[in-house]
């Protein structure tokens, strides 16, 4: 979400976060207090304790996750792509310094290694120190964290990944490479022949230009692509979208039933029915994706 956040006090005792779209509409959070505030070389990093959504992470003035509903976002970003692959052994997460996507990937026992690539090490530290539900994956021996620009990492890498999760939406932020057209080609090059990639594409209605740009950029590099959506209450207007893509025709119709059974009890939002329904776009959303 590329939205400004402001803090206001009323009578010296109230703190409000305003997560707005173009300064016109969005979400408002009433906070108890600021838990953490620091500036990295790339952005201001803040954590607020709110009444309605638990702890909230703010990067560069944008609310990027809330404790109350982050599980919806992370489960829906990770598990559809993971279950489309027959055996995801090697996974790369571009962005994801908060640890949420890492936590979900590691629920799959077949995963042998996960590389998290985030440009800002202070984001990783903030997650470890202030979000107990997010930090567990960092201690897993299968996990490796690389502090680097995601595009440059893929450009230098020679590894092949079964699944690549692009957990970053940052137009105008510190990681400009991930929204450039060459980036999508790099993701395709770093995928194994049967690999699956998923890209976070923000609100399909408020930022339909971005998801359309992603789909146009993905199309020349992959054999198949599909958009899907989920509802996340803390997002402005409550809707988030993703694009999943593969280098193999028909792979996006796959669903690993046995592996799903092993993670189903570990998920609070994701299930088989939600997986199917996420790809059944309402007409007004589908129309917004048209060129």
Q: What is the pLDDT along the chain (291 residues), one digit of tens a residue?
A: 444 455 554 445 589 998 888 777 888 999 999 999 999 999 999 999 999 999 999 999 889 999 999 999 999 999 999 999 999 999 999 999 999 999 999 999 999 999 999 999 999 999 999 999 999 999 999 999 999 999 999 999 999 999 999 998 654 455 555 657 799 999 999 999 999 999 999 999 988 999 999 999 999 999 999 999 999 999 888 999 999 999 999 999 999 999 999 999 999 999 999 999 999 999 999 999 887
Q: Tens digits of per-residue pLDDT, 222-268?
A: 999 999 999 999 988 899 999 999 999 999 999 999 999 999 999 99
Whole-angstrom CA distances from 218 to 24, 183, 188, 214, 244 are 31, 9, 9, 6, 9
Domains of the chain: 7-66 (2.30.140.10), 70-288 (3.40.50.150)
CB atoms within 10 A of CB 8: 10
Query: Looking at the annotation, which residues are catalytic?
Result: 167
Whether 70 and 100 have beta carbons less than 8 Å apart is answered as yes
pTM given for the model? 0.93
Q: Which strands, in side-by-side order, build the sheet including 90-95?
A: 143-147, 113-118, 90-95, 161-167, 191-200, 239-246, 224-231
| Helix H or strand E segment including 281 | none
Region of residue 257 (left: phi > 0; alpha: psi -120 to 50; beta: else) = alpha
Whether 148 and 175 have beta carbons less than 8 Å apart is answered as no
CA 3/CA 43 separation, integer angstroms: 14
């Amino acid at each position: 979400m590329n939205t400004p956040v402001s803090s206001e006090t009323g009578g010296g005792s109230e703190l409000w976060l305003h997560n707005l779209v173009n300064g016109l509409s969005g979400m408002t959070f009433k906070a108890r207090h600021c838990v953490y505030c620091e500036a990295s070389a790339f952005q201001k990093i803040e954590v607020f304790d709110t009444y309605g959504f638990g702890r909230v992470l703010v990067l560069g003035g944008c609310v990027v996750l809330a404790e109350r509903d982050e599980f919806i976002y992370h489960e829906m970003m990770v598990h559809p792509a993971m279950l489309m692959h027959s055996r995801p052994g090697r996974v790369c997460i571009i962005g994801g310094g908060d640890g949420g996507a890492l936590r979900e990937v590691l629920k799959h026992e077949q995963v042998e290694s996960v590389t998290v690539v985030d440009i800002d090490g202070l984001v990783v530290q903030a997650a470890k120190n202030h979000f107990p539900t997010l930090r567990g994956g960092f201690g897993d021996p299968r996990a490796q964290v690389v502090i680097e620009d995601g595009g440059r990492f893929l450009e230098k890498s020679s590894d092949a990944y079964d699944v690549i999760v692009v957990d970053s939406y940052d137009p105008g932020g510190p990681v400009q490479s991930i929204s450039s057209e060459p980036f999508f080609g790099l993701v395709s090059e770093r995928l194994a022949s049967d690999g699956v990639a998923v890209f976070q594409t923000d609100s399909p209605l408020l930022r339909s230009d971005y998801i359309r740009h992603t789909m146009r950029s993905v199309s020349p590099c992959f054999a198949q692509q599909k958009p899907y959506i989920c509802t996340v209450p803390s997002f402005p207007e409550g809707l988030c979208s993703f694009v999943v893509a593969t280098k193999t025709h028909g792979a996006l119709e796959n669903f690993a039933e046995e592996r799903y059974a092993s993670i189903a009890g570990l998920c609070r939002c994701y299930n088989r029915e939600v997986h199917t329904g996420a790809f059944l776009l309402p007409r007004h959303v589908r129309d917004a994706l048209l060129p």
